[in-house]
């Protein structure tokens, strides 16, 4: 069976919907007709026995750190930089430690030419500037885990609340108004223009921005670049302007402004790490349960080594939902689809990574598509062994998609983006505190999901990050003719996620037994209806969950507790690889859950239905995907890319992403409603 799976990479024949619906039952023989799904049962007995003899739990992937394999401690892009640069030049790096520095390492860190720029105690890491010819010496110390470039980090460049289903659930909280009240959302971005009315606290007549911190060194927390203000309003704008037309998803959530991108929209790994390090110590003070990262850089280092990915994992393990933009590099200059361009830290398995949906400016979802620029999976970050061989991660990303094309939200006065393109002003108002601007990208889709996570946590504070991810995926709408690398589980459906989330028992913890009833009552019907100008519009839920390199389906995903929903684990920890075949771990996932073995192209119904885009086997092994750089189905696989020394992709990557943020796809924007300067009383 293993060889058969590997031989079915990108088959020329697609399967019929009926074949894909053929699912084995416990005890049945697995045949070629039933191979698309493997029952989570004793078919994995050999692999499970071997695992159980060693441990009852799988190790945390981030902490395993390749202990069973020889790998290079020096990141590949750093080696490239050293190889192509002057040996006397200095470089900026992130040094990760696995133990306290020894006397010898301390001596090196205090030597001439070595500067300690920042320490990140929560992540056992240090930002250094040091001579390039010293870098190789760092790898010789046993307490050194990994050394990587302190790379540049950039932005990834009303109607939304209604079409996403947020308006459906406004009355679903204990106090009658589900609006994010009491939940903190950290916006890690280019700052926020705090005087904008979008962030006004209508009840307390103050600001909902409870913290302003700068990590750029510029000594300011406003938004001269113009990105962070728009992002914050998408997540938590109050809708005061234009009678609620530009309301955010969680309009009463508290906002924590962590500025890591400078006036040009550029930051560094170390500035983002500093912000996340601050959060590790202060999140509980402000009840920060959600972090939005509408920024990133090319995902080069495997999530198992990358410092940003490891920081994200630490936050998620501490119960904080981390939402990350997928990136805006879904096509090249020729207009071809490009696969494998998920950005860091969106390549981290514990992050909730978001692609962009083009709604065509309408509330009905029947015309929604994935934006052409939205980055597609799989993740192509890698680690390098001592022989120089690259081992790719190949994780299915994104997990979810949300409206992101030509969105209209709060504008920061005289910002750089607006200066470069005055047409971005939406023409809503002449008052600087009420102006709105138009931006596109996964940067805009990400805060929509972050706001949705805040609503879920207000409705049920006991939900874990993994459970929130699972609920969003299970209730998402599958968009027809898009594969899983493009849309993840489908388009965000806040209505469905909240309806199920409210029913999850508050007594559920990491210690809850596998398969225990998870809901307080029967699961709701697996469909959602929203109102539109053309009448009610109903769509089905995906009824599936992406788990690393595979996906799960079945109603038991929401009716029975799965061990992969706890903290300190990954959703993908319930899936084992047995000689190239995906197998279920019955200690993590209950019987009655089905495991897929293909990447499907959706037909618009549930995740299990549709034709095969690629067989699961192409993601397994050492991560070499079809030889790399070759056609993947209907698009081009970037492979390992061509890299500059500073970790930025050569070619059109940065420009492509920037243009996507400014112009989006050539379709209608959100409806523009002029403001009459009267505060909408709803929020």
Confirm if 472 and 452 have CB atoms less than 8 A apart. Answer: yes
Q: Strand 535-540 vs strand 527-532: parallel, antiparallel, or unpaired?
A: antiparallel
Confirm if 307 and 151 have CB atoms less than 8 A apart. Answer: no
What is the model's pLDDT at position 558?
97
Q: How far is CA 552 from the centre of its chain?
A: 19
Mean of per-residue pLDDT scores for the chain: 81
DSSP string, 253-318: -EEEEEE-S-TTSEEEHHHHHHHHHHHHHHGGGGTEEEEEE-EEEE--B-TTT-HHHHHHHHHHHT
Q: What is the pTM of this model?
A: 0.84
Is pLDDT larger for residue 284 or for residue 163?
Answer: 284
Structural domain spans, the chain: 76-150, 154-461+620-663
Q: In the 8-state DSSP scheme, what is residue 321? A: E
Q: Has domain 76-150 been given CATH number 3.90.180.10?
A: no
Architecture of domain 154-461+620-663: 3-Layer(aba) Sandwich (3.40)
Q: Which residue bears the tokens 């006065």?
A: 413
Note the pLDDT tens digit of each residue in 485-520: 999 999 999 999 999 999 999 999 999 999 999 999
What is the model's pLDDT at position 655?
59
What is the model's pLDDT at position 53?
34
Is the pLDDT assigned to residue 652 strictly greater than 80?
no
- Residue from 358, 347, 626, 660 nearest 485 by CA: 347
Note the pLDDT tens digit of each residue in 67-117: 444 678 988 888 877 777 655 588 999 999 999 988 899 999 988 889 999
Angstrom distances, CA of residue 624 to CA of 378, 389, 621, 630: 12, 10, 7, 11
Note the pLDDT tens digit of each residue in 579-627: 667 889 999 999 999 998 788 899 999 998 888 887 776 676 555 554 4
To which H or E segment does residue 163 belong? Answer: helix 159-163
Tell me, yes or no, if the two domains 76-150 and 154-461+620-663 fold the same way.
no
Q: Name the band, by pLDDT with cuts 50, 70 and 90, for residue 8.
A: very low
- Residue from 75, 102, 78 nearest 89 by CA: 78
Q: In sequence order, what E strands does 30-89 have?
A: 37-39
- Residue from 655, 671, 152 nearest 373 by CA: 655
Q: Name the band, by pLDDT with cuts 50, 70 and 90, for residue 455.
A: very high
Note the pLDDT tens digit of each residue in 225-259: 999 999 999 999 998 998 888 999 999 999 999 99
Confirm if 379 and 342 have CB atoms less than 8 A apart. Answer: yes
Cβ neighbours of residue 574 closer than 8 Å, sequence gap 6 or more = 547, 552, 562, 563, 564, 584, 585, 588, 589
- Residue from 231, 235, 230 nearest 180 by CA: 235
Please state, as a whole number, how many other Cβ atoms lie within 10 Å of the Cβ of residue 119.
Answer: 15
Percentage of the chain with pLDDT > 90? 54
Confirm if 318 and 242 have CB atoms less than 8 A apart. Answer: no
Q: Which residue bears the tokens 């020894």?
A: 102
- Residue from 614, 590, 277 nearest 269 by CA: 277
Is the pLDDT assigned to residue 366 strictly greater than 90?
no
Note the pLDDT tens digit of each residue in 129-160: 999 888 988 988 999 999 998 887 766 544 57
What is the model's pLDDT at position 262?
94
């Amino acid at each position: 069976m293993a060889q058969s799976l590997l031989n079915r990479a990108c088959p020329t024949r697609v399967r019929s919907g009926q074949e894909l619906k053929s699912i084995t039952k416990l005890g049945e023989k697995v045949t070629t007709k039933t191979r698309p799904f493997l029952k989570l049962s004793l078919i994995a007995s050999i692999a499970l026995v071997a695992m159980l003899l060693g441990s009852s739990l799988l190790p945390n992937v981030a902490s395993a750190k390749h202990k069973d394999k020889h790998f290079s401690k020096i990141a590949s892009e750093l080696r490239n930089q050293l190889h192509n640069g002057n040996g006397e030049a200095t470089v900026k790096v992130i040094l990760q430690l696995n133990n306290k520095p020894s006397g010898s390492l301390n001596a090196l860190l205090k030597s001439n030419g070595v500067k300690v720029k920042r320490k990140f105690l929560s992540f056992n890491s240090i930002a250094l500037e040091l001579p390039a010819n010293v870098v190789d010496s760092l790898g010789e110390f046993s307490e050194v885990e990994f050394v990587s470039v302190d790379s540049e980090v950039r932005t990834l460049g009303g109607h939304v609340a209604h079409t996403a289903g947020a308006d459906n659930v406004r009355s679903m909280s204990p106090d009658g108004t589900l609006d994010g009240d009491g939940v903190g959302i950290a916006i890690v971005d280019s700052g926020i223009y705090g005087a904008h009315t979008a962030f006004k606290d209508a009840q307390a007549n103050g600001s909902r921005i409870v913290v302003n911190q700068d990590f750029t060194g510029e000594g300011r927390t406003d938004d001269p670049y113009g990105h962070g203000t728009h992002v914050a309003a998408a997540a938590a704008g109050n809708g005061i302007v234009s009678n609620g037309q530009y309301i955010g998803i969680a309009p009463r959530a508290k906002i924590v402004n962590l500025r890591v991108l400078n006036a040009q929209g550029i930051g560094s790994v170390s500035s983002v790490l500093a912000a996340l390090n601050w959060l590790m110590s202060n999140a509980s003070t402000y009840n920060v349960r959600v972090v939005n990262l509408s920024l990133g850089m090319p995902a080069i280092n495997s999530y198992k080594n990358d410092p940003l990915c490891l920081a994200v994992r630490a936050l998620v393990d501490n119960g904080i939902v981390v939402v990350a933009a997928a990136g805006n590099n879904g096509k090249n200059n020729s207009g071809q689809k490009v696969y494998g361009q998920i950005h860091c830290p969106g390549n981290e398995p514990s992050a909730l990574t978001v692609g962009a949906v083009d709604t065509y400016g309408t509330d009905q979802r029947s015309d929604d598509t994935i934006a052409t620029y939205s980055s597609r999976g799989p993740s192509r970050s890698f680690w390098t062994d001592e022989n120089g061989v690259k081992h790719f991660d190949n994780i299915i990303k994104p997990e979810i998609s949300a409206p992101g094309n030509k969105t209209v939200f709060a504008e920061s006065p005289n910002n750089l983006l607006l200066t470069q393109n005055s047409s971005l002003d939406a023409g809503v108002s002449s008052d600087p505190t009420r102006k709105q601007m138009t931006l596109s990208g996964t940067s805009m889709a990400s805060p929509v999901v972050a706001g949705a996570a805040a609503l879920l946590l207000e409705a049920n504070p006991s939900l874990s990050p993994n459970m929130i991810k699972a609920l969003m995926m299970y209730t998402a709408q599958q968009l027809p003719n898009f594969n899983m690398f493009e849309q993840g589980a489908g388009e965000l459906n806040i209505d469905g996620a909240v309806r199920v989330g409210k029913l999850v028992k508050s007594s559920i913890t990491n210690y809850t037994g596998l398969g225990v009833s998870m809901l307080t009552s029967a699961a709701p019907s697996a469909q959602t209806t929203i109102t539109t100008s053309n009448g009610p519009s109903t769509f089905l839920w995906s009824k599936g969950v992406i788990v690393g390199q595979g996906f799960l389906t079945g109603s038991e995903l929401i009716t029975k507790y799965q061990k992969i929903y706890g903290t300190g684990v990954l959703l993908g920890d319930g899936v084992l690889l047995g000689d190239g075949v995906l197998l279920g771990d019955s200690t993590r996932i209950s019987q009655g859950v089905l495991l897929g073995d293909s990447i499907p192209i959706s037909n618009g119904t549930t995740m299990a239905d549709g034709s095969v885009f690629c067989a699961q086997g192409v993601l397994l092994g050492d991560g070499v995907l079809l030889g790399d750089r070759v056609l993947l189905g209907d698009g081009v696989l970037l492979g390992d890319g061509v890299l500059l020394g500073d970790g930025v992709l050569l070619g059109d990557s940065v420009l492509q992403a920037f243009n996507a943020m400014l112009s989006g796809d050539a379709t209608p924007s959100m409806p523009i409603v002029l403001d009459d300067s009267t505060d909408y009383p709803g929020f």
